[in-house]
Amino acid sequence: MARPVIAIVGRPNVGKSTIFNRIIGDRLAIVEDKPGITRDRIYGTGEWSGRSFSVIDTGGIEIDGEDGMLRLVRMQAELAIEEADLIVFMADAKSGVTNADEEVAQILFRSGKPVVVAVNKVDNLQRMDDIYEFYSLGFGDPIALSGSHGIGIGDLLEACVDRLPAGEDQEYDDDVIKVALIGRPNVGKSSLVNAILGEERVIVSEIAGTTRDAIDTPFAKDDQRYVLIDTAGMRKRGKVYETTEKYSVMRSMKAIERADVVLVVINGEEGIIEQDKHIAGYAHEMGKASVFVVNKWDVVDKDDKTMQHFTNSIRDHFLFMSYAPIVFLSALTKSRLHRLLPVIDRVAEQHAMRVPTHLLNDIVADAVAITPPPTDKGRRLRVNYATQVSVKPPTILIFVNDPELMHFSYERYLENKIRAAFDFEGTPLRLFTRRKSDQE
């Protein structure tokens, strides 16, 4: 089930990013120390009182143009209205209620979305009296915060959780493969959906998904049931959402969360840009099975080396997703389209695969025998036991004498050996270490 979304909105320099970091903690600051993963987070996850939620930091969005502060905060507010289930309206106790605050308040009020006003920079008791004027915004009790000191974060989260809507996700049977199509605008996601459905001609129905304006389309092929989750319809009318590619990341998040397999659609005519790495990185971090789909391959000038060059480019740009297969096709002409569903089936199977413990331990023991762990200050890592503890993604727990001795390079070595033995094509593989005494 997709998490509800909280958007943090406000004019510049009120502390949105500081509060965002306080809410999500350090878990997403650097998810994996692997080359190629983008680090500038504008979307994270948090939890409070047993409720898990996603958080958008609109302060991390870069807006082109010089149309002034009011245009900037208006765009942020409109983004929040479109994407969020609840809005945290950030203001500054030192500045008081400004014209920009009042304009955003009017936009949010008309939206009908629940809004919590958070007044930042209440760094001492003397500033507490400054929050009362924020009642004039019309959203009830303002929450006093100090982002720099971490004061009031619990009160803010309590107010948010109390007002979050209950989850209403469409549920599907476990044997249904949920496939999300993600990518920046104009890569051909809608055309690809239409091509898949048009070729198979076995549409069951169309169901409005919980992701705003997205469509869940169930269909079947050779006794396998699927649901296509198309994010292309989430693009807002008008130019507001055309000013920055970063919006496409936000519109993909709920779809990624709900999916088993993520199709990262790339425009073969334009090639790879940085934004493709942003979007694919989130699918990787969420542990989803992934397939790179290079669309519009029919309009690419090709020779006998073009496909290999493009493959090499993807591998160079997406070092952290070397496990993901690549499919070249044209949604327009349906060239090579028949290759896609078998790949989706394969990676979904690998994503849910469970390896017997005795076989896993045989592979790990052989790997250790071939290349023993290096010593660290005279101490050597001892690998005692390995077991798979979950699937989607496959997650393996390795019991050792001291987890501190597990260097990331040796962990990667073990992962590569496990992949060589069991494949795990298309899916991330999570390895965790624990002290052997903790097994008891």
Neighbours of 371 (CB within 10 A): 12
- 38 labelled ligand-binding: no
- 373 labelled ligand-binding: no
- 122 labelled ligand-binding: yes
- 123 labelled ligand-binding: yes
Largest CA distance in the chain: 72
- How far is residue 217's CA from residue 200's CA, in Å, rounded to a whole number? 13
φ and ψ of 405, to 5 deg? -85, -5
- 167 labelled ligand-binding: no
- 384 labelled ligand-binding: no
- 60 labelled ligand-binding: yes
- 14 labelled ligand-binding: yes
- 121 labelled ligand-binding: yes
- 268 labelled ligand-binding: no
Helix axes 408-422, 357-370, angle to 10 degrees: 130
Half-sphere exposure of 286 (CA within 13 A, CB side): 26
- 287 labelled ligand-binding: no
- 230 labelled ligand-binding: yes
Cα angle: 203, vertex 171, 192; to 5 degrees: 40
- 262 labelled ligand-binding: no
- How far is residue 439's CA from residue 357's CA, in Å, rounded to a whole number? 15
Query: Checking DSSP bridges between strand 261-267 and strand 289-295, what pairing results, if any?
Result: parallel
- 189 labelled ligand-binding: yes
- 124 labelled ligand-binding: no
- How far is residue 326's CA from residue 311's CA, in Å, rounded to a whole number? 7
- 409 labelled ligand-binding: no
Label residues 393-426 b or e (16+ Cβ within 10 Å = b): bbbbbbbbbeeebbeeebeebbbebbbebbebbb
- 231 labelled ligand-binding: yes
- 252 labelled ligand-binding: no
- 233 labelled ligand-binding: yes
Look at residues 23, 254, 57 and name the one whose alpha carbon lies nearest to residue 160: 23
- 58 labelled ligand-binding: yes
- 361 labelled ligand-binding: no
- 336 labelled ligand-binding: no
Neighbours of 207 (CB within 10 A): 13
- How far is residue 297's CA from residue 293's CA, in Å, rounded to a whole number? 10
Q: What distances in angstroms separate CA 248 from CA 145, 235, 298, 321, one per listed residue?
A: 30, 8, 25, 20
- 12 labelled ligand-binding: yes
- 298 labelled ligand-binding: yes
- 184 labelled ligand-binding: yes
φ and ψ of 388, to 5 deg? -85, 125
- 95 labelled ligand-binding: no
Residue 105 carries which side chain, given as an amino acid letter? A
Residue ranges for the known binding site for GTP are: 10-17, 57-61, 120-123, 183-190, 230-234, 295-298
Q: Which residues are annotated as a binding site?
A: 10-17, 57-61, 120-123, 183-190, 230-234, 295-298
